[in-house]
């Protein structure tokens, strides 16, 4: 990068070109405001920005005393705690690179990453993490020092190359006059192009890759996104998502340091909901799963409420669903509706939001996977400004975001500030932005195949930009998108997600690539369908019997037909309507290799394993006998046999298939 | 800690086991015509984990009750910290630094976890009922101090998420943990655990084992426990007493006990291979 560029960049962010520089500014400007809170021993402990700066300096000097060099990698493993966030900044102040790792990964996974990033220092949250590091240490000889935060259980360990976090800080404080100038020198060397952090992608395909993000990536992304949502120093966020995930790094470090807001760390993983309620964040992020679980809890508790309360809830939720989103978007609604919503807010929405800990949420985001429209609308109708964003580690999170007032469940929004988008010939989404990653660490081949010389990065997702609104819609993983026999686009995940939004459907697998029509396997959700069966006096002895019950088949058929109607609305994907389906006699299971451990369907395995069922779907038969090998949880194998009914579902006729893939 | 004791030693995992803190000498306990314990002698050393095992009805719980002073044996002597222990009331036992948990959980179901654990510190509170009801002066400071100690135990046993939950709503495994927390709140020197792992699943057992080891390690608490699960006992304890029909049939390290023919016949069963 040339000097011109640098000068220009630094004016854009006011000369603040690194996280440590932002820390210095915050300590000066917001010195007395809280920077971190953590609940410990039942009380929220807090640290101001000035105190935070002191803690970080002490640690940085302690690391210098231990001999940390420029460019060293510092692995950081543990749950969200202020001390671990400080560790990241302290490493940067020493000219080293923080590498947060997923705390729940097993030792072997950790071994690969620790070895690949050649970490010299490892900072662990507690004994559990230290044990894993010790387990792999003999095979990862580069590890020199282990530092731990929680003293518990650590007394007996060999401390020749191990230190307690507090001792490292004490050493740093003691050597202040000697070490301070070295630290200041190293910190002063940081500029826009120095590495800010290295984050390992979760590695669903192959080995994890170390994504190198520069200060430019992080600071610019934080600045742009903070301005986009008007984030200020008064925000509170709850840091509970894995520290190794790019989102947490940007929210809890990038944006927090850019705007000077407060990061709150829960007491433990299990207290997250209580802590959420106590803190009442103003800015909140959660994957769809969290929102789904919360909604389920609310609904179950409402079922148990008194009839009066239930009636009140049902009535006002109906009002909210009708006018809530419009009011949130600032659109005009009638005076009567305004009053009804106000009353509902007084009686239902307000108390409900308070119970959930969402009273103060100004901006909420969900991302990672598709969220069910009903779930999304539920929160928005309560007046919670929940939005979707689309991003990835390589983009420093932000690719597209939904602006206020333009929020819809089926799109992921418009390009984030500074992001350029283009759609490739195969429908794949490409982006270029200030957040575009520098490289994959020690992996030039992957870097070259992901990022072209002009800086465009392939997302691996197929999608399209709506012509009239400019919103991006993600359809599926690019490699899963195919063509049907007539050339129209086939996007299985798009249809499967629509099916899975029904609580009765646990999994769906849609076939159709290269065929003349789409068909589907459905897995029922035993909890939901079992519950329904109980309420309707339907007796069943096994999963298989319930799955094959005619009334269950009817119910699933109606779901499939509703999905068909909704798919037909979409002119590009109307060919993906499901013509025939069957309900599988067993749950798709990772033990049988049908799914990955993260519960993603393995299409190829399923097509092979249930080949005769797929053939039956396309041969017009009305039932099919099948034998399937299953693996029990204790590893034994068995066989189950079944005769499955195959049904035809109604499809909505469309005006002929359109070949749109070559858009 | 009695480091000067001539027979103190260091375990392979680096813990120091001191001299004898409690000694049972020729204990015999009868309930009417039933002899629950017949002439048993053994000792408990400072800092060790001492297990008492045996089949059902072997007299294990009776033994624990003798140790805790709840039962007074008809014959024999209990020596605690170098002096013969007289007959005592429960609060006097507690004041000596002995705390226990029960086989059938004995918590206050309607009270929160926090309040239940706070009761463990009752013997240490000095302010009177009046001051506590109106929460002024010393009472306020005292409660804050005790609350802090209780919070440390809550943190130690990782039960922060149920701090305010009424005990009655908790599953069995967690109730057991709360009971352990209450016993720890009394800052015991000797902790008696009556079947701490009964009725638990494998994961709960592993958790509980870890907590028992951590308590012993972090606070140096001497622990005497009764347990059914042989695997757990053999992993946890430094020394094991084996009882059968009120008699002691074995005493020693887990390995010694495992190889003791009487124990194998009476309790572990004769090998079938």
CA distance B134 to chain A (A): 23
**Does the distance separating the beta carbons of B156 and A268 come in below 8 Å?**
no
| Residues A389, A368: Cα–Cα separation, whole Å | 8
A324: Cβ contacts below 8 Å, ≥ 6 apart: A341, A349, A380, A381, A382, A383
| Residues B216, A597: Cα–Cα separation, whole Å | 38
Q: Sort A615 into a burial class: Cβ within 10 Å, 0-12 / 13-18 / 19+.
A: exposed
Cβ neighbour number for residue A461 with a 10 Å cutoff:
22
- SS3 per-residue string spanning chain B: CCCCCCCCEECCCCCEECCEEEEEEEEEEEECCEEEEEEEEEEEECCCEEEEECCCCCCHHHHHHHHCCCCCCCEEEEEECCEECCCCCHHHHHHCCEEEECCCCCCCCCCEHHHHHHHCCHHHCCCCHHHHHHCCCHHHHHHHHHHHHHHHHHHHCCCHHHCCCEHHHCCHHHHHHHHHHHHHHCCCCEEEEECCCCCCCHHHHHHHHHHHHHHHHHHCCEEEEECCCHHHHHHHCCEEEEEECCEEEEEECHHHHHHCHHHHHHHHCCCCC
**Does the distance separating the beta carbons of B155 and A40 come in below 8 Å?**
yes
Element (H, E) at A60: helix A49-65
Q: What is the ipTM of this complex?
A: 0.75
Q: Do B90 and B199 lie in a common domain?
A: yes
In this predicted structure, the answer to whether residue A11 has a pLDDT above a threshold of 70 is no
| Residues A487, A489: Cα–Cα separation, whole Å | 7
Q: Do B214 and B263 lie in a common domain?
A: yes
**Does the distance separating the beta carbons of A153 and B218 come in below 8 Å?**
yes
The structural domains of chain A, with segments of one domain joined by +, span 16-275, 286-384, 388-479, 482-648
Which CATH number is B250's domain given?
3.40.50.300
Chain B nearest-CA residue for A158: B14
Domain made up of A16-275: CATH architecture: 3-Layer(aba) Sandwich (3.40)
Using the 3D structure, point to which of B120, B154, B186 is the last residue of a domain. B186
Tell me what the mean pLDDT of segment A447-475 comes to.
Answer: 87
Using the 3D structure, point to which of B143, B167, B186 is the last residue of a domain. B186
Q: What's the number of CA atoms in the CB half-sphere (13 Å) around residue A4?
A: 0
Chain A nearest-CA residue for B155: A41
- pLDDT at position A24, please? 93
Q: How many CB pairs under 8 A join A and B?
A: 35
Q: What is the pLDDT of residues A98-126, one digit of tens each?
A: 999 988 888 888 899 999 999 999 999 99
Facing A41 at nearest CB: one of B151, B214, B218: B151
| Residues A463, A423: Cα–Cα separation, whole Å | 7
Helix axes A19-29, A49-65, angle to 10 degrees: 140
- pLDDT at position A12, please? 56
Closest CA relative to residue A256, chosen from A88, A437, A6 = A88
Q: Do B172 and B158 lie in a common domain?
A: yes
| Residues A23, A522: Cα–Cα separation, whole Å | 52
Token pair in block for residue B177 = 């943990």
Tell me what the mean pLDDT of segment A296-316 comes to.
Answer: 86
* Disruptive mutation site among B10, B151, B161, B211 for chain A (greatest number of A CBs within 10 Å): B161
Chain A hits for B151, CB-CB cut-off 8 Å, are 41-43
Chain A hits for B160, CB-CB cut-off 8 Å, are 39, 42, 267-268, 270-271
| Residues A75, A304: Cα–Cα separation, whole Å | 47
Q: Do B252 and B267 lie in a common domain?
A: yes
Residues B129, B131, B135, B138, CA torsion sign: negative
B19: Cβ contacts below 8 Å, ≥ 6 apart: B2, B5, B6, B7, B8, B45, B46
Chain B hits for A153, CB-CB cut-off 8 Å, are 214, 217-218
Chain B nearest-CA residue for A156: B14
Q: Do B182 and B195 lie in a common domain?
A: no
In this predicted structure, the answer to whether residue B68 has a pLDDT above a threshold of 70 is yes
User: String of b and e for A362-376 (b: at least 16 CB within 10 Å)?
Assistant: bbbbbbbebbbeebb
Element (H, E) at A399: strand A397-401
Chain A hits for B181, CB-CB cut-off 8 Å, are none
Strand partners of residue A121: A74, A145
B166 in a structural domain: yes
B102 in a structural domain: no
**Does the distance separating the beta carbons of A268 and B161 come in below 8 Å?**
yes
**Does the distance separating the beta carbons of A153 and B151 come in below 8 Å?**
no
Strand partners of residue A237: A263
Q: Is A115 part of the contact surface with chain B (CB cutoff 8 Å)? A: no
Domain made up of A482-648: CATH architecture: 2-Layer Sandwich (3.30)
**Does the distance separating the beta carbons of A155 and B151 come in below 8 Å?**
no
- pLDDT at position B271, please? 53
Using the 3D structure, point to which of B186, B212, B239 is the last residue of a domain. B186
Q: What is the pLDDT of residues B19-31, one digit of tens each?
A: 888 899 999 999 8
Q: What is the pLDDT of residues A138-155, one digit of tens each?
A: 899 899 999 999 988 888
- pLDDT at position B103, please? 80
CA distance B151 to chain A (A): 5
Tell me what the mean pLDDT of segment A604-621 comes to.
Answer: 88
Contact call for residues A80 and A252 (beta carbons, < 8 A): yes
**Does the distance separating the beta carbons of B13 and A41 come in below 8 Å?**
no
Contact call for residues A129 and A150 (beta carbons, < 8 A): no
B103 in a structural domain: no
In this predicted structure, the answer to whether residue A655 has a pLDDT above a threshold of 70 is no
Chain B hits for A268, CB-CB cut-off 8 Å, are 158, 160-161
Domain made up of A388-479: CATH architecture: Roll (2.30)
B104 in a structural domain: no
- pLDDT at position A180, please? 93
Tell me what the mean pLDDT of segment A518-541 comes to.
Answer: 87
Question: To the nearest 5 percent, what fractions of chain A are helix, strand and coil?
Answer: 40, 20, 35
In this predicted structure, the answer to whether residue A554 has a pLDDT above a threshold of 60 is yes
Chain A nearest-CA residue for B145: A41
| Residues A421, A433: Cα–Cα separation, whole Å | 9
Which range scores top for mean pLDDT: A94-103, A484-493, A606-615, B135-144? A94-103
Q: Do B6 and B83 lie in a common domain?
A: yes
- pLDDT at position A597, please? 60
Tell me what the mean pLDDT of segment A266-284 comes to.
Answer: 91
Q: Do B169 and B239 lie in a common domain?
A: no
Chain A nearest-CA residue for B160: A271
Q: Is A267 part of the contact surface with chain B (CB cutoff 8 Å)? A: yes
Tell me what the mean pLDDT of segment A468-475 comes to.
Answer: 87
Strand partners of residue B28: B75
Chain A hits for B148, CB-CB cut-off 8 Å, are 41
Q: Do B148 and B217 lie in a common domain?
A: no
- pLDDT at position A3, please? 41
**Does the distance separating the beta carbons of A270 and B217 come in below 8 Å?**
no
| Residues B32, A455: Cα–Cα separation, whole Å | 90
Task: Report the percent of chain A where pLDDT is more than 70.
Answer: 95
In this predicted structure, the answer to whether residue A421 has a pLDDT above a threshold of 70 is yes
| Residues A423, A321: Cα–Cα separation, whole Å | 35
Chain A hits for B207, CB-CB cut-off 8 Å, are none
Domain that holds residue B176: 109-186
Output A160 or B230, whichever has higher pLDDT.
A160
Q: What is the pLDDT of residues B152-208, one digit of tens each?
A: 999 999 999 999 999 999 988 899 999 999 999 989 989 999 988 888 888 888 889
Grade residue A371 by pLDDT with cuts at 50, 70 and 90.
confident
- pLDDT at position B265, please? 78
Question: Which DSSP category does A424 fall into?
Answer: -
**Does the distance separating the beta carbons of A156 and B13 come in below 8 Å?**
yes
- SS3 per-residue string spanning A485-502: CCCCEECHHHHHHHHHCC
Alpha helices, H only, A263-399? 272-279, 288-303, 307-328, 335-344, 350-356, 373-381
Contact call for residues A91 and A97 (beta carbons, < 8 A): yes
B35 in a structural domain: yes
Grade residue B269 by pLDDT with cuts at 50, 70 and 90.
low
| Residues A389, A224: Cα–Cα separation, whole Å | 14
Chain A hits for B145, CB-CB cut-off 8 Å, are none
Chain A nearest-CA residue for B149: A41
Q: Do B176 and B54 lie in a common domain?
A: no
Q: What is the pLDDT of residues A221-273, one digit of tens each?
A: 999 999 999 999 999 999 998 899 899 999 999 999 999 999 999 998 888 88
- pLDDT at position B3, please? 44
Tokens 């105190």 — which residue?
Answer: A51
Q: Do B177 and B194 lie in a common domain?
A: no
- pLDDT at position A469, please? 87
**Taking an 8 Å Cβ-Cβ cutoff, which residues of chain B contact chain A?**
13-15, 147-148, 151-152, 154-156, 158, 160-161, 163, 214, 217-218
Q: What's the number of CA atoms in the CB half-sphere (13 Å) around residue A356?
A: 27
Tell me what the mean pLDDT of segment A593-609 comes to.
Answer: 78
Q: Is A155 part of the contact surface with chain B (CB cutoff 8 Å)? A: yes
Chain B nearest-CA residue for A154: B218
Dump the DSSP string for A610-656: THHHHHHHHHT-SEEEEEEEEE-TTS-EEEEEEEEEEEE------S-
How many domains, chain B?
2
Tell me what the mean pLDDT of segment A419-427 comes to.
Answer: 87
**pTM confidence score:** 0.81
CA–CA distances in Å: residue A515 to residues A493, A508, A547, A581, B250 = 16, 18, 27, 15, 75
Tell me what the mean pLDDT of segment A532-538 comes to.
Answer: 86
**Does the distance separating the beta carbons of A268 and B151 come in below 8 Å?**
no
Grade residue A663 by pLDDT with cuts at 50, 70 and 90.
very low
Q: What is the pLDDT of residues A37-68, one digit of tens each?
A: 999 888 999 999 999 999 999 999 999 999 99
**Does the distance separating the beta carbons of A42 and B161 come in below 8 Å?**
no
Angle made by CA atoms B71, B77, B80, in degrees to the nearest 5 = 90
| Residues A81, A88: Cα–Cα separation, whole Å | 11
| Residues A113, A119: Cα–Cα separation, whole Å | 9
Closest CA relative to residue A454, chosen from A422, A407, A485, A427 = A422
- pLDDT at position A97, please? 95
In this predicted structure, the answer to whether residue A591 has a pLDDT above a threshold of 80 is no
Facing A42 at nearest CB: one of B151, B214, B217: B151
CA distance B158 to chain A (A): 8
Which range has the worst mean pLDDT, A268-272, A606-610, B262-266?
B262-266
Closest CA relative to residue A573, chosen from A502, A646, A498 = A498
Q: What is the pLDDT of residues A23-45, one digit of tens each?
A: 999 999 998 999 999 998 889 99
CA distance A157 to chain B (A): 10
Contact call for residues A583 and A556 (beta carbons, < 8 A): yes
- To the nearest whole number, what is the mean pLDDT of chain B? 85
In this predicted structure, the answer to whether residue B4 has a pLDDT above a threshold of 90 is no
In this predicted structure, the answer to whether residue B1 has a pLDDT above a threshold of 70 is no
Contact call for residues A263 and A85 (beta carbons, < 8 A): yes
Tell me what the mean pLDDT of segment A540-567 comes to.
Answer: 91
In this predicted structure, the answer to whether residue B139 has a pLDDT above a threshold of 60 is yes
Token pair in block for residue A405 = 């007032």
In this predicted structure, the answer to whether residue A654 has a pLDDT above a threshold of 60 is yes
| Residues A480, A482: Cα–Cα separation, whole Å | 6
Facing A41 at nearest CB: one of B155, B158, B217: B155
Q: Do B182 and B193 lie in a common domain?
A: no
CA distance B244 to chain A (A): 35
Q: Is A158 part of the contact surface with chain B (CB cutoff 8 Å)? A: no
Chain B nearest-CA residue for A273: B161
Grade residue A598 by pLDDT with cuts at 50, 70 and 90.
low
**Does the distance separating the beta carbons of B158 and A271 come in below 8 Å?**
no
Chain B hits for A44, CB-CB cut-off 8 Å, are none
Q: Do B60 and B127 lie in a common domain?
A: no
Chain B nearest-CA residue for A270: B161
């Amino acid at each position: 990068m040339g000097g011109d560029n640098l000068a220009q960049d630094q004016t854009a962010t006011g000369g603040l070109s690194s996280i440590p520089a932002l820390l210095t500014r915050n300590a000066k400007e917001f010195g007395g405001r809280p920077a971190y809170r953590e609940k410990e021993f039942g009380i929220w402990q807090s640290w101001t920005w000035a105190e935070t700066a002191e803690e970080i300096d002490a640690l940085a000097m302690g690391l210098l005393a231990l001999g940390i060099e420029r460019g060293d990698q510092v692995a950081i493993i543990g749950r969200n705690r202020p001390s671990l966030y400080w560790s990241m900044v302290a490493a940067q102040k020493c000219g080293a690179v923080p590498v947060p790792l997923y705390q729940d990964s097993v030792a072997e996974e950790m071994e690969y990453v620790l070895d690949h990033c050649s970490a010299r220092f490892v900072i662990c949250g507690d004994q559990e993490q230290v044990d894993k590091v010790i387990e792999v240490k003999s095979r990862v000889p580069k590890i020199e020092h282990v530092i731990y935060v929680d003293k518990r259980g650590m007394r007996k360990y060999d401390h020749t190359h191990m230190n307690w976090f507090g001792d490292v800080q004490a050493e740093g404080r003691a050597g202040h006059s000697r070490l301070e100038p070295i630290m200041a020198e190293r910190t002063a060397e940081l500029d826009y192009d120095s590495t800010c952090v290295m984050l390992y992608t979760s590695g669903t395909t192959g080995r994890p890759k170390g994504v190198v993000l520069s200060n430019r990536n992080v600071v610019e992304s934080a600045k742009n996104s903070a301005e986009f949502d008007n984030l200020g120093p008064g925000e509170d966020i709850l840091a509970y998502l894995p520290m190794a995930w790019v989102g947490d790094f940007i929210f809890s470090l990038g944006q927090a340091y850019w705007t000077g807001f407060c990061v709150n760390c829960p007491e433990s993983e299990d207290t997250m909901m209580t802590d959420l309620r106590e803190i009442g964040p103003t800015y909140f992020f959660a994957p769809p799963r969290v929102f789904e679980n919360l909604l389920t809890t609310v609904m179950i508790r409402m079922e148990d409420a008194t009839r009066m309360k239930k009636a009140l809830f049902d009535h006002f939720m109906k009002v909210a669903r009708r006018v809530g989103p419009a009011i949130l978007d600032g659109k005009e609604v009638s005076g009567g509706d305004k009053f009804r919503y106000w009353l509902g807010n007084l009686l239902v929405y307000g108390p409900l939001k308070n119970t959930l800990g969402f009273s103060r949420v100004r901006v909420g985001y969900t991302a990672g996977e598709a969220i069910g429209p009903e779930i999304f609308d539920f929160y928005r109708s309560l007046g919670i400004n929940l939005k979707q964003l689309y991003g990835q580690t390589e983009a420093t999170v932000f690719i597209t975001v939904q602006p206020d007032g333009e929020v819809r469940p089926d799109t992921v929004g418009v390009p984030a500030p500074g992001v350029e988008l283009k759609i490739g010939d195969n429908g794949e989404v490409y982006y270029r932005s200030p957040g575009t990653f520098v490289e994959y660490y020690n992996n030039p081949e992957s870097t070259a195949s992901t990022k072209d010389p002009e800086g465009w990065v392939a997302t691996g997702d197929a999608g399209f930009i709506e012509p009239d609104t400019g919103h991006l819609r993600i359809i599926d993983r690019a490699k899963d998108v195919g063509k049907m026999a007539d050339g129209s686009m086939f996007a299985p995940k798009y249809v499967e997600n629509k099916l899975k939004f029904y609580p009765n459907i646990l999994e769906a697998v849609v076939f159709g690539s290269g065929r003349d029509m789409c068909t589907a396997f459905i897995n029922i959700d035993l909890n939901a369908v079992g519950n329904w069966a109980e309420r309707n006096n339907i007796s069943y002895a096994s999963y298989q019997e319930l799955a094959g019950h005619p009334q269950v088949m009817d119910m699933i058929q109606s779901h499939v037909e509703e999905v068909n109607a909704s798919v037909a609305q979409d002119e590009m994907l109307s060919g993906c309507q499901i013509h025939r389906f069957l309900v599988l006699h067993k749950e798709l299971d990772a033990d049988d290799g049908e799914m990955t451990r993260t519960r993603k369907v393995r299409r190829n395995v399923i097509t092979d394993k249930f080949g005769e069922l797929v053939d039956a779907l396309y041969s017009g038969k009305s039932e099919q006998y099948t034998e399937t090998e299953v693996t029990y949880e204790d590893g034994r194998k068995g066989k189950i046999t079944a005769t499955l009914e195959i049904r035809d579902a109604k499809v909505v006729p469309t005006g002929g298939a359109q070949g749109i893939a070559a858009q | 800690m009695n480091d000067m004791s001539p027979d103190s030693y260091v375990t392979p995992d680096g813990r120091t086991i001191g001299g004898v803190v409690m000694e049972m000498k020729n204990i015999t306990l009868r309930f009417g015509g039933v002899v629950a314990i017949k002439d048993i002698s053994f000792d408990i050393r400072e800092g060790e984990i001492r297990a008492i095992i045996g089949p059902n009805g072997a007299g294990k719980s009776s033994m624990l009750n003798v140790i805790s002073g709840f039962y007074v044996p008809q014959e024999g002597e209990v020596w605690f910290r170098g002096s013969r222990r007289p007959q005592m009331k429960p609060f006097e036992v507690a004041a000596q630094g002995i705390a226990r948990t029960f086989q059938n959980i004995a918590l206050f179901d309607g009270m929160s976890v926090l309040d239940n654990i706070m009761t463990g510190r009752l013997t240490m509170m000095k302010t009177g009922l009046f001051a506590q009801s109106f929460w002024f002066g010393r009472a306020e400071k005292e409660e804050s101090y005790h609350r802090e100690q209780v919070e440390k135990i809550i943190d130690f046993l990782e039960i922060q998420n149920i701090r305010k939950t009424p005990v009655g709503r908790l599953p069995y495994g967690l109730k057991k943990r709360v009971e352990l927390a209450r016993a720890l709140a009394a800052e015991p020197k000797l902790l008696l655990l009556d079947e701490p792992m009964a009725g638990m699943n494998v994961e709960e057992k592993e958790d509980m084992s870890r907590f028992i080891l951590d308590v012993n390690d972090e606070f140096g608490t001497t622990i005497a426990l009764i347990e059914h699960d042989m695997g757990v006992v053999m992993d946890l304890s430094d020394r094991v007493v084996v009882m059968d029909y009120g008699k002691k049939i074995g005493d020693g390290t887990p390995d010694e006990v495992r190889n003791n023919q009487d124990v194998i016949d009476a309790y572990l069963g004769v090998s079938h291979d």
